[in-house]
A and B are shown apart, each in its own frame.
Chain A
Amino acid sequence: MFAQQLFNGLVTGSTYALIALGYTMVYGVLQLINFAHGEIYMTGAFAGLLLVTVAKLPFWLALPGAMLIASLVGVTVEFVAYRPLRRSSRLAVLISAIGMSIFLSNLGLWIFGPATRSFQPPFRVATLELAGIRTNTLSLLTLGLALAMMTGLHYVVTRTKLGKAMRAVAQDRDTAALMGISVNRTIAFTFAIGSALAAAAGVMVGMLFNAVTPTMGVMPGLKGFVSAVLGGIGSIPGAMVGGLVLGMAETIGVALLSSQWRDAIAFAILIVVLLSRPTGLLGRRLQEKV
């Protein structure tokens, strides 16, 4: 049974990791906690739901579609709420992010209403048993997609020109600009990728839990943030590790204690890690730029 709970946690954790990546990448390039990221996740879930139920697209088209839509929303948010504040204090951008988060979830409430929507997978889901662990094709697909996307992201960041630009902007925005890198385009690209990953998580979780609501982004958004900080904010492998660790710790906490403790456990872990390792599990100590 312990193995079963670990597996449950792994699936949940892989979705946290996908969300955490968006936080950590944006933090890397802007030193901004993008609090609207949870709402991008919600947008992705609704986009996926509508593409499946209204547009009647097959899943393999609906998922990229939802990711694309969320990317556009993410880039728009950046353009509207963050870009004009590029030279303002970090606090101003943070407040703008919180405002965007509230705006998007209220917009969702206004468009879709408060009721929970059912999101039945548009394909047949089979349950199966693997090495004593009972699972199903949907959970395996979620886990597989998450791992594949993380690998893909790792490739993009370390092996492509765009990835190099992202890393350069993260290191020093002004010098990167002097080297001929379009900073705004790189930042927009970062938002696009982060939003697409969050949308993928939203679609998969929407189907796994059969529930999509305008407020669904709040808790996973916070959990993604915790995962990112846990792994070391700004570190991409850290976000992946942080998400998986958090998901498993939570599931085991619920299994051993009770579900009231789920969120308490998440934040307790955060506090403990920050006390013992202020830069997170895989974070590097950065010197404050003056």
Chain B
Amino acid sequence: MLGPLSGDYASYGQSVANGVELAINEANASGRYNYVFVLQKEDTRGDPVQALNAMNKLIELDRVTAIIGPVLSGETLTAGPIAQDAGVPFITPSATAPAVSEIGNYEFRNVITDDVQAAQMAEYAVRVLGLRRLAILYSNNDYGVGLRRAFEAAAVAAGGQVVAVESYLDGDTNFNAQITNIAARNPDGLYIAGYYTEAAQIAQQAALQGLRVKLMGADGFDSPLLIELGGAAVEGAIFTSGFFADTQDELGRSFVEKYAAAYGAKPDMFAANAYDSARILIEVINRVGPNRAAVRDGIAATRDFPGVTGVTTFAENGDAVKPLYILRVENGTFVQER
């Protein structure tokens, strides 16, 4: 495993390390496998150059069979090609940049990309909720622009109509002008492509302007602060998320319990994706043996793997395809809508 275990992004890397470690300890303790799995952790400090060195060390010195990581998009784009050239399969549990899937056939990604999130929400809004007139308010950064593009395309493809598109900048607090423009087009749904702080304020100001619409968003909503800041205004809002720690799903629940017992905290999406990635690797290695090329083929052939983040299949480009959770704000807490 490699990822940022220290520095600014240490919490992401630590979650990934915990998820992988939990899966490996479980596998070794179960006695069901032909091999004893050993976890070798390398710290990238979130630095692409350091990630390169760490990747080289894992491949040349530790001679690992396969790798979980890197964690951040930037380090995956620099260190990933090293693994690709050396013929070492790796699964990133968290890098969402579109360019990651172009690294090559030894690269796998077990996290839902922003595009897929936006597309699934658009389809759900049009096909299931029956919303027809949709408005988009996006944050003018990579995340918001990517979500906006995918949402608009999928909404139109599903038969909906995008009646208004407005933007804002992160850190803005006054959204009245955009909301007035949106309200003038009478939408029945508003997709906010951004993070929870602005989303909560937008919800509040929309309510003050008397705009009554279904509020939707992506994993940028996924923070208790959404509810704390938004209060009654975000009640009923829905958003896509790769993982839900309070899931009713049995597999997910047992993972959350085991994780909490081991690390004293609820797992986040990083830990859950890493846990699933490690379990996929363990199954594949157990089946085909510790041969790098054979393991690559084994991962690529993974179909309908029952993961805690959903039933997972790897597509041609190495991206995992799995259903997303759609969560809803209800009585000041998150509940599972789908």
Contacts and interface: CB of A to CB of B under 8 A. Distances in A.
B279 to A, nearest CB: 35
Interface of A: 1, 4-5, 8-9, 11-12, 115-116, 118, 120, 125, 127, 129, 134-136, 138-139, 205, 208-211, 216, 251-252, 254-255, 258-260, 262
Nearest to B196: A116
A12 B180 CA distance: 14
A209 B205 contact: yes
Interface in B163-196: 166-169, 172-178, 180-181, 183-184
* Interface of B, helix, strand, loop or mixed by DSSP: helix
Contacts, number: 85
A201 to B, nearest CB: 13
B202 to A, nearest CB: 10
Contact of B200 (A127, A135, A208, A210): A210
B208 A115 contact: no
Interface residues of B, number: 31
Contact of A216 (B169, B173, B177, B228): B173
Contacts of B184: 1, 4
Given A4-B180, A255-B181, A136 B172 contact: no
A208 B201 CA distance: 9
Nearest to B210: A127
B229 interface: yes
B208 A125 contact: yes
Given A1-B184, A116-B229, A211 B173 contact: yes
Nearest to A138: B208
A134 B210 contact: yes
Contact of A127 (B166, B177, B178, B208): B208
Nearest to B167: A258
B197 A259 contact: no
B273 interface: no
A36 B137 CA distance: 34
Given A8-B180, A210-B200, A251-B176, A120 B231 contact: yes
A208 B175 CA distance: 11
A190 B231 CA distance: 38
B168 A259 contact: yes
A116 B174 contact: no
Contacts of A120: 231
18 contacts: A1-B180, A4-B184, A5-B177, A5-B180, A8-B176, A8-B180, A118-B200, A118-B229, A134-B209, A205-B173, A210-B205, A211-B197, A251-B176, A254-B178, A255-B180, A258-B166, A259-B167, A260-B169
Given A127-B209, A255-B180, A258-B166, A12 B174 contact: yes
B169 A259 contact: yes
A238 to B, nearest CB: 23
A255 B185 CA distance: 13
Given A12-B176, A259-B172, A259-B178, 19 more contacts: A11-B176, A12-B174, A118-B230, A118-B231, A125-B208, A129-B210, A136-B208, A205-B173, A208-B208, A210-B200, A210-B205, A210-B229, A216-B173, A251-B177, A252-B177, A255-B181, A259-B166, A260-B140, A260-B167
A135 B207 CA distance: 10
A1 B185 CA distance: 10
B226 to A, nearest CB: 11
List the 4 shortest-distance A-B pairs measured between CB atoms, nearest first.
Answer: A254-B177, A127-B210, A8-B176, A209-B173
Given A116-B229, A210-B229, A259-B178, A136 B201 contact: no
A251 B181 CA distance: 11
Nearest to A258: B167
Nearest to B229: A118
Contacts of B177: 5, 8-9, 251-252, 254-255, 259
B129 interface: no
A210 B169 contact: no
Nearest to A115: B225
A4 B205 CA distance: 14
Contacts of B225: 115-116
B204 interface: yes
A259 B201 CA distance: 15
Contact of B229 (A125, A211, A254, A255): A211
Contacts of A11: 176
B204 A210 contact: yes
Contacts of A127: 207-210
A210 B180 contact: no
